[in-house]
Amino acid sequence: MYKIEKTKFKGLFVFHPQVFEDERGYFFESYNAEVWKEAGIVTNFIQDNESKSKYGTVRGLHYQIPPHGQSKLVRVTKGEVVDVVLDMRQEEDTFGRHYSIILSQKNKKQLLIPRGFAHGFATLSETAVFNYKCDNIYHKSSEHGISPLDESLDIDWKIPEQDILLSEKDKNQPIFGDHEPFM
């Protein structure tokens, strides 16, 4: 099936699928609720999303406050991104720290992001198609963000600053010290 790798962040897991390849192409199981249940991970996904971005695009860091928080299972089906999560859970010893990982169509890794994390990614390839499952619907008035360029976070987006493309919304996000708490 796949290997489940724990991180130092509570509830944040990396999934390494077992890929079966031959001359026709490949096959892998991208999600199996029973395998997750056996590993003690129970999530009920109710929405799938997909985005396409060009090189230099940074999306995030976004989160939804309770009761509309979202857990996400993210992966890349075309191209390559650096995926970044920021722990917003004040009760955790990893509060305010970030985790990053390269996700690509080649490595097929997936990241399970629990509720309580701000999330973002940067497109490292010419284009990237990013897919994610959510366990709660998008709720506009509950969405908040942190500036992805907040120097205090020391995030390496792996893109020269002059090449970073941000939406107007992300250009105007507050720095971490001024964020809306996730309670």
Domain layout of the chain by residue ranges: 2-16+44-177
pLDDT in tens, 31-43: 989 988 988 998 9
Note the pLDDT of residue 8. Answer: 97
pLDDT in tens, 126-162: 999 999 999 999 999 999 999 999 999 999 999 999 9
Note the pLDDT of residue 122. Answer: 98
- Selecting among 62, 98, 119, 179, the annotated active-site residue is 62
Confidence of residue 2 (pLDDT cuts 50, 70, 90): confident
Active site residue 132: yes
Say whether pLDDT at 96 is over 70. yes
Say whether pLDDT at 176 is over 90. yes
CA dist 155 and 112 (Å) reads 19
The rounded mean pLDDT for the chain is: 95
CB count in 10 Å sphere of residue 31: 15
Q: Which structure tokens are listed for 102?
A: 């390269």
Of 83, 103, 104, 86, give the one whose Cα is nearest residue 150.
86
Contact 82, 100 (CB under 8 A): yes
Name 85's Cβ contacts closer than 8 Å, sequence gap at least 6.
9, 12, 98, 99, 100, 111, 113, 117, 118, 119, 120
Note the pLDDT of residue 182. Answer: 62
Confidence of residue 181 (pLDDT cuts 50, 70, 90): low
Say whether pLDDT at 77 is over 90. yes
Contact 80, 125 (CB under 8 A): yes
Confidence of residue 109 (pLDDT cuts 50, 70, 90): very high
Average pLDDT over residues 25-33: 92
C-alpha distances out from residue 67 to 23, 47, 154, 161, Å? 48, 16, 29, 35
At position 149, the amino acid (one-letter code) is L
pTM of this structure:
0.94
Say whether pLDDT at 183 is over 90. no
Q: 48 pairs with which residues across the strands?
A: 133
Note the pLDDT of residue 35. Answer: 87
Contact 110, 73 (CB under 8 A): yes
- Selecting among 2, 63, 99, 132, the annotated active-site residue is 132
Which CATH superfamily does the domain covering 2-16+44-177 fall into? Answer: Jelly Rolls (2.60.120.10)
Active site residue 98: no
Q: Considering the chain, what percentage of its residues have pLDDT values greater than 90?
A: 90
